[in-house]
Amino acid sequence: MITGLFRLLRLLWQGLNFTRRLIANALLVLVLLLLFGGYALFANKPAAPPPPEGAALFIRPQGAITEQLERASSFDLLMDAQGSMPGAALHEYIEAIDVAAGDSRITGLVLETGDIAGASLGRLAELRAAIERFRAAGKPVYAWGERFTQGQYFLASAADRVHVSPDGAVLLAGLARYQNYFKSALDKIGVKVHVFRVGAYKSFGEPFTRDEMSEEDRQSTLDLLTGLWGQMRQTVEKSRKLTPEALADYVQRYPDHLARTRGDAAQAALDAGLVDELLTRDQWQAQLRARFGADADDPDSFRKVTPARYLAHAGKENASAPVIAVLTVQGTIIDGETQAGTTGGDTLAAQIRKARNDARVRALVLRIDSPGGSAFASELIRRELQLTRNAGKPVIASMSGTAASGGYWVASGADEIWALPSTLTGSIGIFALLPELVDTANHLGIHTDGVGTAPLAGLPDPLRPLPPDAQRSAQLMLEHGYRRFLEVVAEARKMSPREVDQVGQGRVWTGEAAHKLGLVDQLGTLPQAIAAAAARAGIAGEPQVRWEVPEPSLGEMLLSLLGELALTDARARPSLASTLLQQWRTELAALHTLNDPQNLYAHCFCDLSQTR
């Protein structure tokens, strides 16, 4: 009987094993079919026709405007069943606009902002600068929106003429930073959070240890918001030829403006001089057809070319030209390999080494849009930049919307640091965060006990109290990390550690303020930073600019293909609820990515709601 039972179990196991192999092989065949099918699809795709004469460059960014397009993670693809809009790479828009400015075939630029889901003030300012260069070349720019959020209008206001739908609005409300504080809630469930920091303005841990904003954080944040709002307001006033009083009155007394138009928000914006004309979608298209001619394939539309199609015909790479390699630091800096929404220290360090050893690469530009993260990974990247400079290749850091804390640590490895006036930078400080769940566990009847060979053995453990020796050790390590941060910046900026400490302490500065304080060398855009790199490298003529991206693995290529297929018929704009859920998910994901091997972080939570 026992023998028969074992025989039955063996047969069941063999059956399960056969089924497992069958499923695995079927999945492998499916993967190969998708890969080869996708390759054939794209390989046989006919080349896009060149832009027609007299066409407009048509820009309608989809999703978030980022420095570099990110490959979606498998989790994103599985969870985002409805299909979110793809992101837009900022540098591709800038390149298309700058090239089109000198192209006689392109007679204007048309901008629609309705699908922009998010962008920092810095990225919008970079795009605005490219639009202004286009206008300076003598070519008109037209903008239209069904409605304008604050960030969308900031971009659209760069146009010669701005139009909004008669049922739309221009929503300008100023800048704000509000966040939740959890101390009382954590106390109720028995959670204690140990936060160690160096820097009076390093406020990351405050939501876990307080129920309100500290006075230091309140004052520094207000100063920062005031500076950024002043830059936004002055830029719009100059473009729209408005007086400071007129724009301030519209923002501060918006209900009164609505009352004068009986609640008609579009008319209120027109009366205030924020827009030039109210046009429905069909009226907008009719004006564009009259200006640029009808599209050959779509008589209801106008003659236009998208940036991707335009750049495909803008010219081929010159194989003999010297190269400026542009590498991106985007999102939280983490230890190890790059993941979706982050920059992995090991991945970027390998990219820098590859560029350093490439004979064609004469200089390197590091484009930074990061609040920092792992102190260890930040130093790893900075060290590779230093080795690149030692090898005789100039390095320029170009700051986008944010280059704070670890982002600034990385930038200090460059020969020059360039920033935008609206860049959020500085935040020279360091922190560590260790949760303790002992009271919560005890309430649930969970108790921890055991033995160790030393007082700190087995720590940190969230289910054991953090002893004084562990807390003292953490603070000492933190203070050493801060001194190291000061030394790195002091050497790079030719300042004393004491001088750096005076502008450090975790305080965030605008690029404009950082320039005055000596933390930034020049204020300027990415193209200006690239030109500075070419000048340092002694490159005569136009260099070849090459954006370096990590090579995707086979699995990532498959996920990217699946994502493109999933998004083919799913470009719906996110609802307000889904946008808020995505923001909360992003905040939680940011905590999840904190993986420094010593739990020491040079990270700034710098989201100031610039474009909401």
pLDDT tens digits along 9-26: 565 556 666 666 666 566
3-class DSSP state of 383 = helix
Q: What is the CATH number of the domain that holds 515?
A: 3.90.226.10
Confirm whether 577 is domain-assigned: yes
Mean pLDDT (the chain, rounded): 83
Confirm whether 418 is domain-assigned: yes
The mean pLDDT value for 393-402 works out to: 96
- 24-41 burial code (b ≥16 CB/10 A, e <16): eeeeeeeeeeeeeebeee
Confirm whether 49 is domain-assigned: no
The mean pLDDT value for 169-182 works out to: 91
- 60 plus 112 within the same structural domain: yes
Alpha helix segments (H runs only) across 327-374: 345-356
Alpha helix segments (H runs only) across 357-467: 375-390, 406-411, 438-443
- 399 plus 338 within the same structural domain: yes
Q: Worst-scoring range by mean pLDDT, 33-47, 446-460, 489-503?
A: 33-47
- 352 plus 390 within the same structural domain: yes
Q: Tell which of 312, 345, 365 closes a domain.
A: 312
User: Which of 132, 203, 204, 232 lies closest to 510, judged by CA?
Assistant: 232
Confirm whether 32 is domain-assigned: no
- 172 plus 84 within the same structural domain: yes
The mean pLDDT value for 235-257 works out to: 95
- 396 and 529 in contact (C-beta within 8 Å)? yes
Residue located via tokens 């933390």: 519
- 303 plus 344 within the same structural domain: no
Confirm whether 237 is domain-assigned: yes
Q: How many domains does the chain have?
A: 2
The mean pLDDT value for 216-238 works out to: 93
- 425 and 402 in contact (C-beta within 8 Å)? yes
Which residues participate in catalysis according to the annotation? 202, 405
- 368 plus 256 within the same structural domain: no
Position 337, amino acid: E
Residue 326 confidence (pLDDT): 96
Q: Taking 60 as the threshold, does the pLDDT of residue 151 lie above it?
A: yes
Residues 6+ apart with CB under 8 A from 579: 117
Q: Tell which of 253, 281, 312 closes a domain.
A: 312
Given the DSSP bridges, would you call strands 277-278 and 332-334 parallel, antiparallel or unpaired? Answer: unpaired
Q: Tell which of 246, 277, 312 closes a domain.
A: 312
Q: pLDDT over 70 for what percent of the chain?
A: 78
- 291 plus 254 within the same structural domain: yes
The whole domain housing 568 covers 323-434+482-603
The mean pLDDT value for 236-249 works out to: 94
**CA–CA gap between residue 475 and residue 554 (Å, rounded):** 43
- 248 and 232 in contact (C-beta within 8 Å)? no
- 252 plus 302 within the same structural domain: yes
Confirm whether 566 is domain-assigned: yes
- Top pLDDT among 609 and 173 is at 173
Both tokens of 463, joined, read 């289910």
Residue 19 confidence (pLDDT): 66
Q: Taking 60 as the threshold, does the pLDDT of residue 61 lie above it?
A: yes
User: What stretches of 286-394 adopt beta strand conformation (E)?
Assistant: 304-305, 323-330, 332-334, 342-344, 361-370, 372-374
**CA–CA gap between residue 439 and residue 427 (Å, rounded):** 34
Confirm whether 305 is domain-assigned: yes
Residue 312 confidence (pLDDT): 84
The mean pLDDT value for 416-424 works out to: 96
- 122 and 423 in contact (C-beta within 8 Å)? yes
- 256 plus 327 within the same structural domain: no
Residue 289 — pLDDT band, cuts 50, 70, 90? very high
Residue 76 confidence (pLDDT): 46
Helix axes 2-43, 554-567, angle to 10 degrees: 70
- 235 plus 349 within the same structural domain: no
- Top pLDDT among 292 and 22 is at 292
- Top pLDDT among 115 and 17 is at 115
- 257 plus 379 within the same structural domain: no
**CA–CA gap between residue 549 and residue 556 (Å, rounded):** 13
- 331 plus 262 within the same structural domain: no
Q: What pLDDT, in 10s, does the model give residues 180-220?
A: 898 899 888 888 888 888 777 778 788 888 999 999 889 99
- Top pLDDT among 52 and 468 is at 468
Give the predicted TM-score (pTM) of the model: 0.81
Residue 59 confidence (pLDDT): 95
Write the DSSP string, 412-440.
Answer: TTSSEEEE-TT-EEE---EEEEEEE-HHH
The mean pLDDT value for 166-171 works out to: 95
Q: What pLDDT, in 10s, does the model give residues 432-485?
A: 878 888 888 888 888 888 898 888 888 888 888 889 988 888 889 888 888 999
Q: pLDDT over 90 for what percent of the chain?
A: 52
Confirm whether 413 is domain-assigned: yes
Q: Taking 80 as the threshold, does the pLDDT of residue 603 lie above it?
A: no
Q: Taking 70 as the threshold, does the pLDDT of residue 542 lie above it?
A: yes
